[in-house]
Amino acid sequence: MRMRELDERARAALNKAAALGEDIDLDSFLTDSPRYEKIDDLKRLPEQDRQRMLMAGIDTDGRQRSGSYLQKDGSPVFSAAFQEGLEIVPIKEALERYDWLVDFYWNLIPVDMDKYTARARLNLQNGYLIRALPGARITIPAQACMYIETNGFSQNVHNIVIAEEGSELHMITGCASATHVARGVHVGISEFYVKKNAKLSFTMIHHWAEDVAVRPRSACIVEEGGLFLNNYISMKPVRSLQMAPVTSLVGKGAVARFYSLLAGHPGSELDVGGRVILRAEETRAEIVSRSITNGGTIIARGDLIGEVPGVRGHLECHGLILKGGVIKAVPELTATAEGVEMSHEAAVGKIAQEEIFYLMSRGLTEEESAAMIVRGFLNVEIPGLPRPLQQEIDRAVELSRTEMM
C-alpha cells in the first residue's frame, strides 16, 4: 500500500530537475549491469579493486572494522557484522525481514523531491540497513562501500542507519569507481536516525572518476541527548556533485556537527551544503567546511535555522584558491525565536603571502611553505572521532593534496 503510493509520487517526479546543481540526463546511463556473485571474504576481491577501495577508506582486510557492506554496481556482494549489537543487512532484504522498517523508508526525504529521489525509488538496486541495537557500543567502525564497476552505470542506493537508544555507532563509507570507469552516476539516499542518547559518527570518503555525477540525498533526525557527527571528504576529481543534507535536532540537548573537506579540480563542480534545524531546547550545531581548488568550482553552503530560545550554532566556511577556480561560500543563518545564538565565519582567498614568507624565514622553500599551510588548512580536528577514522581522513586528504600541489 505505502510502496504503491511512493511509486506513484516518484513517477510524477521522474523529470523534476533538482533545485541546485547541473541537471543530469539519467537516461544516458545504464541501469542494468551484470549480477555479481556474493563473496565470503573481502580479501578475495581483485587487488586493483582493493586498492581503489582503500583510497576511499575501505579496509578490505577487515581487521579494523566491526562489519562491512559492499555493493558492486547494483549487487550486494558482501554484508556481515562481526560485533554483537550491530546489524548490517542489504536494504531489500531488510525491508522484507522487518515490517517496522517501512516507517523509516522515505520517511525523512520526500520521494518526489527531484528526479534523483524518484529514480532511487523506481529503480532501487539496493543499499543497506546498518543498525546499532539499544545500548550497543560499536566503537570499532563499521564500513560500507558503494562501488561502480561498469562504465556508464547509474547506481541507485538507499541506506538507512539507525543508532538505537543509548547506542554508539561509528561508520565509514567509501564510494569509489573501478579504474576503467570513466563515466557514471551515483544516487544515494541515506536516512539517519539517532535515537535518545545515541551517538552516530558517519564519515564518507568519495573517490570517484572525472566524469561521474553524484547526487546524495540525505537527512537525519536526532533525538534527546543524541549526537550526529557527519564528515564528508571529496578530494578526487568528480564532474558534478550536489548535496544538501538536512538534519533536524528534535530532542533536548541534541547535537549535530558537520565537517567537509572538498577539493575542486578543473572541470568539476561541487555544490555541498548542509542544513541543521534546531528545533528543541539546548540543541547545538556546527558546520565546518574547508575547500581548496585547482581550477574547479566549489559552492560551500551552510544553513542553520534556530527555532527555540537558547540554541547555539556556528558555521565556518573557509576556501583557498590554489591555481584558478571558483569558491563560493554561502552561509545562512535564520532565527525564528528570541535568544538564539548563531554565528558564521566565511573566508575565501589565496594562501597569504605573509604566511609563506614567515615559514621561509624558518628555512622552508616557497613550495614547502605553501604545502605546510595547505596541509594545516585541511587539518581539521574532529572531536569524538575514533583514531582510525581520523587516520583514514588524513590519508585521503594527504594523498590528494600532494597530487594537487
By CB under 8 A, name the binding residues for another protein. 352, 354-355, 357-366, 369, 372-373, 375-380
241 vs 378, beta carbon nearer another protein: 378
CB of 91 or CB of 327, closer to another protein: 327
Q: Are 240 and 265 in contact (CB under 8 A)?
A: no
Nearest-angstrom CA–CA distance, 327 and 297? 6
Q: Crossing angle, helix 366-378 and helix 353-360, to 10 degrees?
A: 120
**C-beta of 376 vs 384, nearer to another protein:** 376
Three state DSSP letters for 265-297: CCCCEEEECCEEEECCCCCEEEEEEEEEECCCE
Residue with smaller CB distance to another protein, 17 or 347: 347
List, in sequence order, every residue forming a beta bridge with 199; answer none if it has no partner: 168, 227
The residue among 153 and 377 lying less far from another protein, judged by its C-beta, is 377
Of 7 and 355, CB closest to another protein = 355
Closer residue to another protein (CB): 183 or 401: 401
Shortest distance, position 316 Cβ to another protein, whole Å: 11
Least distance to another protein from the beta carbon of 383, Å?
Answer: 14
DSSP H or E run through 142? strand 137-148
Distance of CA 281 to the CA centre of its chain: 27
CB 236 to another protein: min, Å: 21
User: How many C-beta atoms lie closer than 10 Å to residue 139's C-beta?
Assistant: 12
Shortest Cβ 167–another protein spacing (Å): 32
Other beta carbons within 10 Å of 99: 8
The CB-of-292 to another protein minimum distance in angstroms stands at 12
Amino acid at 282: E
Residue 158's nearest CA partner among 89, 246, 64 is 89
Q: Which is nearer to another protein, 307 or 355 (CB)?
A: 355
Name the minimum Å distance from CB 228 to another protein.
Answer: 24
Residue position matching grid coordinates 510502496? 3
> What span, in angstroms and rounded, lies between the C-alpha atoms of 230 and 250?
17
First to last CA, the chain: 55
Residue 259 CB, shortest distance to another protein, in Å, is 13
Q: Which residues contact 123 (CB under 8 A, 6 or more apart)?
A: 31, 154, 156
Residue count (the chain): 405
Task: Tell whether the torsion through CA atoms of 227, 18, 242 and 78 is positive or negative.
Answer: positive
Q: How far is the CB of 335 from another protein (least distance, A)?
A: 27
Nearer to another protein, 165 or 355 (CB): 355
CB of 339 to another protein, least distance (A): 27
Closest CA to 185 of 123, 245, 116, 105: 116
Q: Which is nearer to another protein, 332 or 355 (CB)?
A: 355
Do residues 90 and 124 touch, judged by C-beta distance below 8 A? no
Which of 36, 27, 231, 54 shows the shortest CA–CA distance to 123?
A: 27
Q: How far is the CB of 216 from another protein (least distance, A)?
A: 27
| Pairing verdict, β 67-72 and 275-278 | unpaired
Residues paired with 66 in a beta bridge: none
CA distance 19 to 329: 18
Q: Smallest distance from the beta carbon of 293 to another protein, in angstroms?
A: 18
Nearer to another protein by Cβ, of 46 and 363: the residue is: 363
